[in-house]
Copies of this chain bind each other. A is one copy, B any other.
Amino acid sequence: MSNLAPLQNLIDHFERMPGIGHKTAQRLAFYILGLEEAEAREFSQAIIDAHTKIKQCKICCNLADEELCPICKSTVRDKSVICVVEDPRDVAAIERTHEYNGTYHVLHGAISPMDNVGPDQIRIKELIARLSDDTVEEVIMATNPTVEGEATAMYISRLLKPMGITVSRLAYGVPVGADLEYADEVTLSRALEGRSLI
């Protein structure tokens, strides 16, 4: 279909998306062609809207459509605890547990020298700035359980400890509902290490 420039252009845009190969990009482009005129306009507008209306919260760097995100604006959230995550989606995941009443800090990435991401490329400065007024007592590191997430947690904890702030880390262990047989050795040994009395 390369003779149709507008279609090829749309396919190219889809193909640049993560996890979308050529065949899928083609399928999605044809889906767009098959939409009603009004639906296509709405879709197009939704892209612009998401881009122009969504900013980062001035405090926690989470996504927000105002100056502050609903969590930082809330008066019932405990401002003395900050949970540090890599990504806005992680905030959504923790919120779904309904177990956490503190605030968040979204790093927008993890330190990864392989990908040229150093401490300055993620929102660590903004986190340090939040700790200057002594209201924060604990920082919970909830970066991903990967090499990069781990390194980021270690890096930040070394910065915070001299400031007299408690730094904790999410527990490692076997996921609830999973089969022990399929757990990898690292996870299992971490689960053993972190065992608790019953």
Contacts and interface: CB of A to CB of B under 8 A. Distances in A.
A59 to B, nearest CB: 16
Contacts of A1: 63, 88-89, 92
Interface in A20-74: 20, 24, 26-33, 35, 37, 40-51, 53-54, 63-65, 70
Contact of A40 (B7, B17, B51): B51
A6 B50 contact: yes
A28 B17 contact: yes
Contacts of A19: 24, 27
Contacts of A41: 48, 51
Chain A contact residues, majority secondary structure: helix
Interface string A135-155: 000000000000000000000
A35 B65 CA distance: 17
A193 B43 CA distance: 49
Contact of A43 (B3, B18, B47): B47
B17 A49 contact: no
B89 A10 contact: no
Q: Which of A6, A29, A49, A92 is the most central at the interface, judged by chain B CB atoms within 10 Å of its CB?
A: A6
